[in-house]
Structure 1
Amino acid sequence: MKLNLGENVWYFAYGSNMDTERMKERVGRLPDRIPGVLRNWRLEFNKAWENIPGAGFANIVPCPGDAVEGVLYLLLGEELRELDRYEGVPRHYKQRQVSVERRETGEVVAAVTYVASPDKVRHGLKPTREYIGYLLSGADCLSKEYVQHLQAVETLN
Protein backbone atom coordinates (compact mmCIF):
# COMPACT_ATOMS: atom_id res chain seq x y z
CA MET A 1 0.00 0.00 0.00
CA LYS A 2 1.56 3.31 -1.08
CA LEU A 3 0.80 6.27 1.17
CA ASN A 4 1.91 9.86 1.13
CA LEU A 5 3.68 10.92 4.33
CA GLY A 6 0.85 13.19 5.43
CA GLU A 7 -2.04 11.01 4.25
CA ASN A 8 -4.37 9.67 6.94
CA VAL A 9 -5.10 5.96 7.17
CA TRP A 10 -7.19 3.92 9.58
CA TYR A 11 -5.20 1.25 11.40
CA PHE A 12 -6.96 -1.62 13.21
CA ALA A 13 -5.06 -2.94 16.24
CA TYR A 14 -6.19 -6.29 17.67
CA GLY A 15 -2.99 -7.25 19.52
CA SER A 16 -0.41 -5.51 21.66
CA ASN A 17 -0.87 -2.18 19.88
CA MET A 18 -4.16 -1.78 21.75
CA ASP A 19 -1.91 -0.77 24.66
CA THR A 20 -1.75 3.04 24.83
CA GLU A 21 1.83 3.18 26.12
CA ARG A 22 3.02 0.87 23.37
CA MET A 23 1.38 3.02 20.68
CA LYS A 24 2.90 6.20 22.16
CA GLU A 25 6.35 4.59 22.07
CA ARG A 26 5.91 3.35 18.53
CA VAL A 27 4.40 6.36 16.76
CA GLY A 28 5.43 9.19 19.09
CA ARG A 29 1.90 10.12 20.20
CA LEU A 30 -1.38 8.53 21.19
CA PRO A 31 -3.86 8.87 18.34
CA ASP A 32 -7.58 8.97 19.14
CA ARG A 33 -8.84 5.47 20.01
CA ILE A 34 -12.11 4.20 18.55
CA PRO A 35 -13.62 0.77 19.32
CA GLY A 36 -13.70 -1.42 16.22
CA VAL A 37 -14.99 -4.84 15.18
CA LEU A 38 -13.59 -6.92 12.35
CA ARG A 39 -16.32 -9.31 11.24
CA ASN A 40 -15.68 -12.79 9.80
CA TRP A 41 -12.20 -13.11 11.31
CA ARG A 42 -10.96 -14.89 14.46
CA LEU A 43 -8.16 -14.00 16.87
CA GLU A 44 -5.45 -16.63 17.28
CA PHE A 45 -2.06 -16.66 18.98
CA ASN A 46 -0.30 -18.62 16.27
CA LYS A 47 2.44 -16.23 15.16
CA ALA A 48 5.70 -17.78 16.39
CA TRP A 49 7.70 -15.81 18.93
CA GLU A 50 11.27 -16.65 17.99
CA ASN A 51 12.80 -15.73 21.36
CA ILE A 52 10.43 -17.82 23.52
CA PRO A 53 9.74 -21.39 22.38
CA GLY A 54 6.02 -22.22 22.46
CA ALA A 55 4.95 -18.57 22.74
CA GLY A 56 2.65 -16.98 20.17
CA PHE A 57 1.79 -13.44 19.18
CA ALA A 58 -1.68 -12.36 18.09
CA ASN A 59 -2.78 -13.03 14.53
CA ILE A 60 -6.10 -13.06 12.74
CA VAL A 61 -7.50 -15.71 10.42
CA PRO A 62 -10.63 -15.62 8.23
CA CYS A 63 -13.58 -17.26 10.01
CA PRO A 64 -17.16 -16.68 8.78
CA GLY A 65 -19.49 -15.68 11.60
CA ASP A 66 -16.74 -14.83 14.09
CA ALA A 67 -15.43 -11.36 15.04
CA VAL A 68 -12.28 -9.73 16.37
CA GLU A 69 -12.58 -6.65 18.55
CA GLY A 70 -9.88 -4.02 18.72
CA VAL A 71 -8.94 -0.38 18.39
CA LEU A 72 -9.11 1.85 15.33
CA TYR A 73 -6.46 4.58 15.18
CA LEU A 74 -6.28 7.32 12.55
CA LEU A 75 -2.59 7.48 11.63
CA LEU A 76 -0.45 9.45 9.23
CA GLY A 77 1.27 7.47 6.51
CA GLU A 78 4.65 8.03 8.19
CA GLU A 79 3.28 6.63 11.47
CA LEU A 80 2.02 3.51 9.72
CA ARG A 81 5.46 3.03 8.17
CA GLU A 82 6.97 3.30 11.65
CA LEU A 83 4.56 0.60 12.86
CA ASP A 84 5.60 -1.54 9.89
CA ARG A 85 9.13 -1.49 11.29
CA TYR A 86 7.97 -2.63 14.74
CA GLU A 87 5.75 -5.35 13.24
CA GLY A 88 8.54 -6.73 11.07
CA VAL A 89 6.83 -6.06 7.72
CA PRO A 90 7.14 -7.92 5.39
CA ARG A 91 9.09 -10.76 7.05
CA HIS A 92 6.91 -11.34 10.15
CA TYR A 93 3.62 -9.63 9.31
CA LYS A 94 2.06 -8.34 6.13
CA GLN A 95 -0.28 -5.38 5.78
CA ARG A 96 -3.84 -6.28 4.88
CA GLN A 97 -6.74 -4.00 3.99
CA VAL A 98 -9.90 -4.89 5.89
CA SER A 99 -13.34 -3.40 6.52
CA VAL A 100 -13.80 -2.56 10.19
CA GLU A 101 -17.03 -1.55 11.88
CA ARG A 102 -16.89 1.37 14.28
CA ARG A 103 -18.58 -0.28 17.25
CA GLU A 104 -20.32 2.84 18.52
CA THR A 105 -21.85 3.99 15.19
CA GLY A 106 -21.90 0.88 13.00
CA GLU A 107 -20.11 2.81 10.24
CA VAL A 108 -17.71 0.61 8.27
CA VAL A 109 -14.29 2.03 7.39
CA ALA A 110 -11.44 0.70 5.27
CA ALA A 111 -8.46 0.04 7.52
CA VAL A 112 -5.01 -1.48 7.44
CA THR A 113 -4.13 -4.28 9.83
CA TYR A 114 -1.38 -6.88 10.10
CA VAL A 115 -1.65 -10.60 9.34
CA ALA A 116 1.20 -12.98 10.16
CA SER A 117 3.32 -14.19 7.26
CA PRO A 118 2.32 -17.81 6.56
CA ASP A 119 5.83 -19.13 7.24
CA LYS A 120 5.70 -17.65 10.77
CA VAL A 121 2.43 -19.39 11.73
CA ARG A 122 2.65 -22.41 14.04
CA HIS A 123 -0.04 -24.46 15.78
CA GLY A 124 -0.10 -25.14 19.51
CA LEU A 125 1.37 -21.79 20.59
CA LYS A 126 0.17 -19.79 23.61
CA PRO A 127 0.66 -16.13 24.49
CA THR A 128 2.56 -15.12 27.60
CA ARG A 129 0.60 -13.60 30.47
CA GLU A 130 2.46 -10.31 29.91
CA TYR A 131 1.43 -10.27 26.25
CA ILE A 132 -2.25 -10.87 27.09
CA GLY A 133 -1.92 -7.89 29.45
CA TYR A 134 -1.17 -5.65 26.47
CA LEU A 135 -4.41 -6.76 24.82
CA LEU A 136 -6.39 -6.32 28.03
CA SER A 137 -5.09 -2.77 28.37
CA GLY A 138 -7.44 -2.01 25.46
CA ALA A 139 -10.46 -3.09 27.54
CA ASP A 140 -11.98 0.39 27.35
CA CYS A 141 -12.53 -0.26 23.62
CA LEU A 142 -13.73 -3.86 23.98
CA SER A 143 -17.03 -5.43 24.95
CA LYS A 144 -17.33 -7.06 28.36
CA GLU A 145 -17.72 -10.45 26.64
CA TYR A 146 -14.57 -9.99 24.58
CA VAL A 147 -12.57 -8.96 27.67
CA GLN A 148 -13.78 -12.15 29.39
CA HIS A 149 -12.74 -14.14 26.31
CA LEU A 150 -9.22 -12.65 26.48
CA GLN A 151 -9.00 -13.26 30.24
CA ALA A 152 -9.84 -16.94 29.63
CA VAL A 153 -7.04 -17.48 27.07
CA GLU A 154 -4.62 -20.13 28.30
CA THR A 155 -1.15 -18.59 28.65
CA LEU A 156 2.31 -20.06 28.50
CA ASN A 157 3.22 -18.88 31.99
Structure 2
Amino acid sequence: MELKAKDKIIVAILVVLAVAVFVGGRIHDTRTSFETEKWVNYEGNSRQLMLQDLVDRTRFVGMTREEVKTDLGEADEETDAFLIYYAGIPQGLFGTKPDADPEYLVIEFTDEEKKDLVTASGVMTADVLPKDSTFRIKGDATDSTVLKPAE
Protein backbone atom coordinates (compact mmCIF):
# COMPACT_ATOMS: atom_id res chain seq x y z
CA MET A 1 0.00 0.00 0.00
CA GLU A 2 1.54 3.26 -1.11
CA LEU A 3 0.92 6.57 0.65
CA LYS A 4 -0.73 9.38 -1.25
CA ALA A 5 1.13 12.68 -1.61
CA LYS A 6 -1.12 14.29 1.02
CA ASP A 7 -0.36 11.48 3.50
CA LYS A 8 3.39 11.80 2.86
CA ILE A 9 3.24 15.52 3.69
CA ILE A 10 1.36 14.79 6.92
CA VAL A 11 3.92 12.13 7.93
CA ALA A 12 6.80 14.52 7.14
CA ILE A 13 5.21 17.27 9.25
CA LEU A 14 4.70 14.85 12.15
CA VAL A 15 8.35 13.72 11.97
CA VAL A 16 9.56 17.34 11.97
CA LEU A 17 7.34 18.15 14.96
CA ALA A 18 8.58 15.10 16.87
CA VAL A 19 12.21 16.09 16.26
CA ALA A 20 11.49 19.69 17.31
CA VAL A 21 9.84 18.55 20.55
CA PHE A 22 12.77 16.23 21.32
CA VAL A 23 15.43 18.88 20.62
CA GLY A 24 13.48 21.52 22.56
CA GLY A 25 13.20 19.17 25.53
CA ARG A 26 16.93 18.45 25.48
CA ILE A 27 17.80 22.15 25.35
CA HIS A 28 15.45 22.81 28.27
CA ASP A 29 17.07 19.97 30.25
CA THR A 30 20.53 21.53 29.86
CA ARG A 31 19.51 24.81 31.54
CA THR A 32 18.54 25.48 35.14
CA SER A 33 17.78 28.76 36.88
CA PHE A 34 20.62 30.06 39.04
CA GLU A 35 20.21 29.55 42.78
CA THR A 36 22.93 30.54 45.25
CA GLU A 37 22.46 27.45 47.42
CA LYS A 38 22.74 25.08 44.44
CA TRP A 39 25.81 26.96 43.13
CA VAL A 40 27.59 26.85 46.49
CA ASN A 41 26.73 23.19 47.15
CA TYR A 42 27.27 21.95 43.61
CA GLU A 43 27.73 18.30 42.72
CA GLY A 44 29.52 17.10 39.62
CA ASN A 45 28.60 19.31 36.68
CA SER A 46 25.54 21.04 38.19
CA ARG A 47 27.11 24.52 38.03
CA GLN A 48 27.32 24.24 34.26
CA LEU A 49 23.53 23.89 34.09
CA MET A 50 23.10 27.24 35.89
CA LEU A 51 25.99 29.09 34.26
CA GLN A 52 24.15 30.63 31.30
CA ASP A 53 21.28 31.83 33.48
CA LEU A 54 23.78 33.37 35.92
CA VAL A 55 25.72 35.14 33.16
CA ASP A 56 22.54 36.36 31.44
CA ARG A 57 20.94 37.77 34.59
CA THR A 58 23.86 39.07 36.65
CA ARG A 59 25.87 42.21 35.99
CA PHE A 60 29.00 41.69 38.04
CA VAL A 61 30.78 44.89 36.95
CA GLY A 62 30.55 47.40 39.78
CA MET A 63 29.82 44.82 42.49
CA THR A 64 32.12 44.53 45.49
CA ARG A 65 34.03 41.37 46.36
CA GLU A 66 31.66 40.74 49.29
CA GLU A 67 28.58 41.12 47.09
CA VAL A 68 29.97 38.53 44.68
CA LYS A 69 30.74 36.15 47.54
CA THR A 70 27.23 36.62 48.92
CA ASP A 71 25.81 35.46 45.58
CA LEU A 72 28.40 32.80 44.67
CA GLY A 73 29.97 31.71 47.96
CA GLU A 74 33.70 31.23 48.50
CA ALA A 75 35.72 31.07 45.29
CA ASP A 76 37.70 28.00 44.27
CA GLU A 77 40.65 30.35 43.88
CA GLU A 78 41.06 33.90 45.17
CA THR A 79 43.70 36.60 44.77
CA ASP A 80 43.60 40.38 45.10
CA ALA A 81 43.01 40.56 41.33
CA PHE A 82 40.39 37.86 40.77
CA LEU A 83 37.97 35.21 42.03
CA ILE A 84 37.69 31.96 40.06
CA TYR A 85 34.80 29.53 40.30
CA TYR A 86 34.95 26.10 38.67
CA ALA A 87 31.90 25.94 36.38
CA GLY A 88 32.19 22.42 34.96
CA ILE A 89 32.28 20.83 31.52
CA PRO A 90 30.08 22.45 28.84
CA GLN A 91 26.82 20.71 27.99
CA GLY A 92 25.86 19.61 24.51
CA LEU A 93 22.54 18.44 23.14
CA PHE A 94 23.08 14.91 24.46
CA GLY A 95 24.85 15.65 27.76
CA THR A 96 28.39 16.68 28.61
CA LYS A 97 30.53 17.42 25.57
CA PRO A 98 33.16 14.64 25.53
CA ASP A 99 36.09 16.70 24.18
CA ALA A 100 35.31 20.00 25.92
CA ASP A 101 37.67 21.70 28.34
CA PRO A 102 36.44 22.64 31.81
CA GLU A 103 35.12 26.17 32.14
CA TYR A 104 35.69 28.67 34.94
CA LEU A 105 33.78 31.80 35.90
CA VAL A 106 36.36 34.55 36.40
CA ILE A 107 35.56 37.76 38.29
CA GLU A 108 38.28 40.44 38.00
CA PHE A 109 38.81 43.33 40.44
CA THR A 110 40.53 46.68 40.63
CA ASP A 111 41.86 48.23 43.80
CA GLU A 112 41.55 51.87 42.74
CA GLU A 113 41.06 54.01 45.83
CA LYS A 114 40.48 50.87 47.95
CA LYS A 115 37.10 50.21 46.28
CA ASP A 116 37.82 46.60 45.29
CA LEU A 117 35.12 46.63 42.62
CA VAL A 118 34.54 44.13 39.81
CA THR A 119 35.87 45.48 36.53
CA ALA A 120 35.20 42.44 34.32
CA SER A 121 33.78 38.94 34.37
CA GLY A 122 33.66 36.06 31.96
CA VAL A 123 33.63 32.34 31.36
CA MET A 124 37.04 30.96 30.39
CA THR A 125 38.81 27.69 29.79
CA ALA A 126 42.02 26.85 31.65
CA ASP A 127 44.30 27.94 28.80
CA VAL A 128 43.16 31.59 29.00
CA LEU A 129 42.84 32.06 32.76
CA PRO A 130 44.96 34.76 34.43
CA LYS A 131 48.65 33.83 34.34
CA ASP A 132 48.95 33.51 38.11
CA SER A 133 45.98 31.15 38.42
CA THR A 134 46.72 27.63 39.66
CA PHE A 135 43.97 26.38 37.35
CA ARG A 136 45.78 27.63 34.25
CA ILE A 137 47.07 24.93 31.90
CA LYS A 138 50.82 24.60 32.18
CA GLY A 139 52.54 23.27 29.06
CA ASP A 140 50.67 20.93 26.75
CA ALA A 141 46.90 20.76 27.21
CA THR A 142 46.32 17.30 28.61
CA ASP A 143 43.83 16.09 31.21
CA SER A 144 46.57 15.79 33.81
CA THR A 145 47.61 19.44 33.43
CA VAL A 146 44.18 20.93 34.11
CA LEU A 147 43.68 21.55 37.78
CA LYS A 148 40.15 21.73 39.17
CA PRO A 149 38.62 21.80 42.62
CA ALA A 150 38.07 18.52 44.44
CA GLU A 151 34.51 17.36 44.02
TM-score after normalising by structure 1: 0.24
Normalized per residue, the structure richer in strand is 1
Whose radius of gyration is greater, 1 or 2? 2
Normalized per residue, the structure richer in helix is 2
**Which structure has the higher relative contact order (CA within 8 Å, separation 6+)?**
1
